[in-house]
Homo-oligomer: A and B are copies of this chain.
Amino acid sequence: MSRFEKSTIMLKIAVLGTGTVGDTVGSKLIELGHSVMMGSRTANNEKALAFVSKHKERASAGTFKDAANYGEMIFNCTSGAGSLAALEMAGAENLNRKVIVDIANSLDFSNGMPPSLLYCNTSSLGEEIQKAYPMAMVVKTLNTMWCGVMVNPEMINDGDHNVFMSGNDGDAKNHVKEILKSFGWKESNIIDLGDIKTARGTEMYLPLWLSIYGSEKMGAFNIKVIK
C-alpha cells in the first residue's frame, strides 16, 4: 500500500511563493477542495493576504516556516533563484518525510537575455533540493509550461499534450500523479522520466521554451511527444 493513502482525500498543502505561479496553483488546489497556506518571507505579505481574501475558505497565509509546518505536501512555487533560501527558512524539520512538488526553474536574468540557468548541465534545482533535504521526497514536475496550462491542460488541444515527472520515490510520484490528474491531466500524458537526475532535462528545456514563447508570442502552448 502506498505510504500516501491520503491521495484521494483533501490535503493541507503549503504553497511556497506568492507570485503568479503560487497564486494560480494555490487557487486550483483550493478549488479542488484542499486547504492551502501560502508561505512567504513575512507573515503579512500583501499578495498572500490578497490570496486569502480572494478565497475566504480554506486559504491562509504565513511565513515559509508556518506554511511548511502546516502542509502535508509542499509546492515549491518560489522563483528558482530563491528556492533554496526559501526552503532553508521553511526548515528541514517541516520538510522531512513530506513530498516537495518542485515546479520552479532557476532562471537567472542578471546577465541579460537569453537568461541562463543557475543549476544546469551537471545538476538541477530539483537535485539540489533533494540533496539539501534527503529526508524529503522531491518530485519535479509542471516546470515545462506556463502556469495557466499547468492547472488547466484542457485549455489547449483537449488536454492532449505532456507533463513530465522526475523523482526518486515511486510512491511520491504516484501521489503527485493523482494531483496532476485532478488538475485535468490524462494519465497517459504524464511521462515519468525516472529519478531526480532527469530533472536536468526538464529544467534545461527552459531556454527552448523561452524561444518558442518568443516566436509564438503567447504562453498557452506545450509540447507533445509524437511517436
Contact = CB atoms under 8 A, between A and B. Distances in A.
A122 interface: yes
A208 B120 CA distance: 12
How many copies of this chain does the complex contain? 2
Interface string A111-129: 1001011001110000000
Interface in A190-227: 191-194, 197-198, 200-202, 204-212, 214-216, 218, 220-227
B111 A116 contact: no
A161 interface: yes
A188 interface: no
A160 interface: yes
A157 interface: yes
B223 A227 contact: no
Given A114-B200, A197-B114, A216 B208 contact: no
Interface size range on A against B:
35 or more
Contacts of A116: 121-122
Main SS of the interface on chain A? mixed
Contact of A212 (B157, B208, B216, B225): B225
Given A200-B207, A218-B227, 17 more contacts: A114-B201, A116-B121, A116-B122, A120-B121, A164-B208, A193-B215, A198-B211, A201-B207, A201-B211, A204-B204, A204-B206, A212-B225, A216-B225, A220-B227, A221-B225, A223-B226, A224-B224
Interface of A: 111, 114, 116-117, 120-122, 156-157, 160-161, 164, 166, 191-194, 197-198, 200-202, 204-212, 214-216, 218, 220-227
17 contacts: A114-B201, A116-B122, A120-B121, A157-B226, A157-B227, A160-B226, A193-B214, A198-B211, A201-B211, A201-B212, A204-B208, A216-B225, A220-B227, A221-B225, A221-B227, A222-B225, A223-B225
